[in-house]
Structure 1
Amino acid sequence: MSPTDIPQPGFGTSGHKGDACTDAVVTAFETGYRHVDTAQMYDNERAVGRALEQADVDRDDVFLATKVHPSNLAHEDVIETTEESLERLGVEYVDLLYVHWPTDAYDPEETLPALDEVRDRGWTRHVGVSNFTIGLLDEAVEILESPLLANQVELHPRLQQDDLVSFSREHDVQTVAYCPIAKAEVNEIDALREIADARDATPVQIALAWHYERDGVVPIPKGTGEHVRENHEALEIDLSEDELERIDALDRGERLVDPDDAAWNR
């Protein structure tokens, strides 16, 4: 699978719990999303699994991703907890299994071969990492026997991570963008509001359209209700070169997620 085979966009589920999570994912499926992102850390894998059961969508048409909790990254824990994730999700495999954070029990010589083993068992079709720097990503590419499909990182107009995205692209690694609308802070950015007003769109839609234009980047916005549909409709927006340049100029290197706080539930 090439990086561009990850469905665009993904649907993020961090912060969604219980029936509300199930309802949001069902709505996403009905809207046209076919890529759903969850994690052991989010404590909502069962809710996502219920959405898979309830929605009128074929499992083989869904790109399902989950992540191994930082405390579960010892070799045998990766194997055991991945099996538990599959049970909670009610599936025989996930399409992508990530290392959630390279902290706590993470040991590249132990953790990464465990991902290879999980893939060999057929429990995941692809492996990925999350919150990896260029150095850690380069190390993972060298150690893994499996192709590394994706690195999921914080990415939005105020934190564009051009060097990391370029490095990933050169190594055929897709960049999956969490917090792609900067926790809705894009609504307060003048340039995005001006572009949105001119296009009868929202600043959130403009920010997502910018992500869609970036080669090798797949955003995974969260949402409920009408926002789920609005986020998906941003796929229809084709930004001009001038508009893209205005958004490119917004980079400030501003993180919303503390990289030293790996227990923080995104």
Structure 2
Amino acid sequence: MQTISVHGAVIPTLGFGVFRMSDAEVERVVPAALEAGFRHFDTAQIYQNEAALGRALQAAGARREELFLTTKVWVDNYSRARFAASVDESLDRLKVDQVDLLLLHWPGDKVAIADQVEMLNAVQAAGKTRFIGVSNQNIAQMKETVALSQAPIVTNQVELHPYLDQRALAAAAKSMGLVVSAYYGMADGAVPRDPLLQRIGAKYGKSAAQVALRWLVQQGFVALSKTARPERVAENVAIFDFVLSEDDMAVIGALARPDGRLVNPPGLAPAWDA
């Protein structure tokens, strides 16, 4: 598995996400993910499957030192009374003493970024996470977070797929020393069905889904893949044995469209840059 190094964090380029998976699905697919080579697992408090992931990893005999675990603090816990306590609860559910990466899940509109960053830094200083980052922040919020944080911010995890142009945010993140982590890479099922991506994949003996994941990692992003079907896990990880041509990379990037954003919850999402 390839990795990306940023501020001392060595992050596997391809992660396995468990968004919208039931406990049973998580416990069924995680052993297959480990067998296929996945070591980076991404969950969140709001997914309500941290405990299932912790059980699955423990039952499979995964070695903690080989794993890179990411979870995210939900906005309802952005208070001095709840933030650190909620992280403790996440650690208990995951059956670990600390996670590798802890993210602020959404900026929201009720708690100032400065307060969010202060609480995030405090739990890192307490040893509950090795590294910290954010998710779903726009460029201005990233800049504010980086300026206010005592510890390095290693990533901004955002929606990113061929139909959404995130070039401005990616360039801003790079200039600030952040890695962009991409979620929703399959665009809620649109990518595997895309005829153009299927045609490009055929040239390389790959599926449209593999092409999209390769497109992400080839740009230097961390890509989060997902499947609840153990038989599909090996396909997701098999993206490091081919390289998309510059022309194909450009053609895929040209699929972006103004209505490409799929995840935009009111009260949680910021004013997007594009």
- After TM superposition, the score normalised by the length of structure 2 is 0.91
Q: Any conservation in 1 of the 2:33–2:230 contact (CA below 8 Å)?
A: no
User: Which structure dedicates a bigger proportion of its chain to helix?
Assistant: 1
Contact (CA 8 Å) 2:28, 2:230: kept in 1 or not? Answer: no
Shift of 1:72: 0.6
User: More strand per residue: 1 or 2?
Assistant: 2
CA contact (8 A) 2:108 2:267 kept: no
Q: CA deviation at 1:75?
A: 2.8
Aligned partner of 1:121: which letter? A
Q: CA deviation at 1:19?
A: 2.2
- Unmatched 5+ stretches in structure 2: 270-274
Contact 1:75–1:111 at 8 Å: present in 2 too? no
2:262 pairs with one of 244, 256, 261: 256
Query: Percent same amino acid at aligned positions?
Result: 37
Matches within 5 A, 1:115-134: 115-134=120-139
SS in 2 for 1:175: strand
> What is residue 9 of structure 1 aligned with on the other side?
14
> CA separation of 1:68/1:105 partners in 2, compared to 1, >3 Å: closer, same or farther?
farther
> After TM superposition, what 4+ stretches of structure 1 lie above 6 angstroms from structure 2?
none
User: Following the alignment from structure 2 to structure 1, what is the Cα–Cα distance between the partners of residues 236 and 87?
Assistant: 30
**Alpha-carbon displacement from aligned partner over 1:40-75 (angstroms, at most 9, x marks no partner):** 000001001001201232101100000001111113
Task: Tell me, yes or no, if the aligned pair for 2:173 and 2:179 is still in contact at 8 Å.
Answer: yes
CA distance in 1 between counterparts of 2:31 and 2:247 reads 37
1:115-163 per-residue CA deviation (whole Å, 9 max, x = no partner) reads: 1110111100011111000011111001110100111100000013001
Instruction: Judge conservation of contact 1:76–1:114 (CA < 8 Å) in 2.
Output: no
- What is the match of residue 170 of structure 2? 165
Matched, 1:49 2:47: no
Question: 1:40·1:67 contact (CA, 8 Å) conserved in 2?
Answer: yes
**Aligned counterpart for 2:78 among listed residues 73, 82, 93:** 73
Whether 1:207 aligns to 2:216 is no
What is the TM-score when the length of structure 1 is the normalising length?
Answer: 0.94
Distance 1:68 1:12 in 2: 16
Contact 1:212 1:235 in 2 (8 A): no
CA shift, 1:173, in A, is 0.7
* Aligned-partner Cα distance in 1 for 2:214–2:41: 19
- Structure 2 distance, partners of 1:106, 1:197, is 48
CA drift at 1:207: 0.6
2-structure distance, mates of 1:62, 1:162? 30
Letter matched to residue 165 of structure 1: A
Structure 2 match to 1:97: 102
**Which residue matches 2:233?**
228
Count of matched residue pairs? 262
The residue that corresponds to 1:218 in the other structure is 222
- SS of the equivalent of 2:130 reads coil
C-alpha change, 1:106 and 1:61, in structure 2 (3 Å) is farther
Say if 1:65 and 1:95, in contact at 8 Å, map to a contact too: yes
Partner of residue 111, structure 1: 116
Q: CA deviation at 1:104?
A: 5.3
Shift of 1:105: 4.5
Aligned-partner residue type, residue 89 of structure 1: L
1:151 to 153, 156, 167: 156
